[in-house]
Amino acid sequence: MFAFLASRSASNASYEERLTQFAGRRANQQQRTAKEQLREIDKVVVRSKRGSETARNLARADLKLTVTEFYLIKLLAAGVGAAVGAFIGRASWEAQLLSGIVGFALFSFLPDLYVGYAAKQRVTKFNAQLGDTINMLANSLRSGYSLLQSMELVSREAPEPTASEYRRVVQEVGLGLRTEDALDNLLKRVPSEDLDLLVTAVKIQMESGGNLAQILDTIGHTIRERIRIKGEIAVLTAQGRISAYVITGLPIGLAIFITMINPNYMAPMFSLGMPPEHWCCLPVAGVVMIVIGFFAIMKIVDIEV
């Protein structure tokens, strides 16, 4: 009797175990199907002009996100912005609607601003390392390495982001892509004038021949001088750039602060009508003049090298 009950419990346990495995397999299959659907959606989105541009920007910023995920983050940020705007303009329904729309529009651009900032910082860091990278390429070429072997050495010895970018170039060439095309793809991921000078010199040398190590020495000296001059200009124009940021952000931040403390005091500025009861023209004119002043200051301190 005890043996029969033990066998029954063992069979029930094995049955439940098989059922759990089957259910888990089905769950994994459903999860895999959902991932495949998201992947198909992402492929469709990337085919569009805006999607391909977004994918290129994400690659430049080295963010491990798909285009669909990035758009979902933009939508979430826009919803948060609408909620924040509605809270700030809670004095009246007109102010709440207007500030909600403005918050929706502004917050939807925050992910784009972050991607642009990350891409710019990455390009700046890449340019700062470019002089040492060219020296490493020139020295390895003098020691008898080929160009591809030299780039592989850079991918192992150079710091980030130079190492990852040159590693990708080596991998693309290993998969059958021409060296010129792989360098063009590198230039697309890292839009840099200094890198463009290097890629152009390498492509000309591959077509016409010549001492590539000597050419790289000359280019490296030119790039290091450009970086030095850019650094000096950035120091000399730092006060102007900070003034532009302060002058632009101070009135906007002060208006938001006063609105959160005393919404009724700022309500006439967000209501439609004519003075003296309604002052909707004042923030519009103020924002226009602030934007004009900001771009005027940034144009003055933007010095090309």
Mean pLDDT confidence for 99-124: 89
CA dist 57 and 221 (Å) reads 30
DSSP state of 158: S
For 98, counting Cβ atoms within 10 Å of its Cβ (0-12 exposed, 13-18 middle, 19+ buried), the class is buried
pTM of the predicted structure, to 2 decimals:
0.70
**Which three-class secondary structure state does DSSP give residue 137?**
helix
pLDDT at 125 over 50: yes
Q: What percent of the chain has pLDDT over 90?
A: 5
Tokens of 41: 């959606």
For the cut 90, the answer to whether the pLDDT of residue 194 exceeds it is: no
| Per-residue CA distances from 93 to 89, 105, 266, 267, 274 (Å) | 8, 18, 13, 10, 18
The least confident of 40-54, 69-83, 224-238, 247-261 is: 40-54
Name residue, tokens 């303009």.
89
pLDDT confidence band for 42 (50 / 70 / 90): low
Average pLDDT value for residue range 278-299: 83
| In 209-262, alpha helices (H) | 212-236, 238-261
Inform me whether the pLDDT recorded for 128 exceeds 90.
Answer: no
pLDDT tens per residue, range 56-98:
888 888 888 888 888 889 999 999 988 888 887 777 777 778 8
Q: Using alpha carbons, list the distances in angstroms from residue 190 to 187, 221, 260, 296.
A: 5, 20, 42, 28
* DSSP state at residue 268: G
Q: pLDDT band at 13, cuts 50/70/90? A: very low
Tokens (6 digits) for 171:
């991998």
Residue identified by tokens 């888990």 is 24
* E strand or H helix at 19: helix 2-47
Give the pLDDT score at 228: 86
- Which tens digits make up the pLDDT trace of 109-121? 999 999 989 988 8
Nearest to 212 by CA among 176, 168, 179, 165: 179
Predicted confidence band of residue 29 (pLDDT cuts 50, 70, 90):
low
Average pLDDT, integer, range 118-127: 88
167-190 CB burial, b ≥16 within 10 A, e <16: bbbbebbeeeeebeebbebbeebb
Q: Which residue has the higher pLDDT, 35 or 120?
A: 120
What number is the average pLDDT over the span 151-179? 88
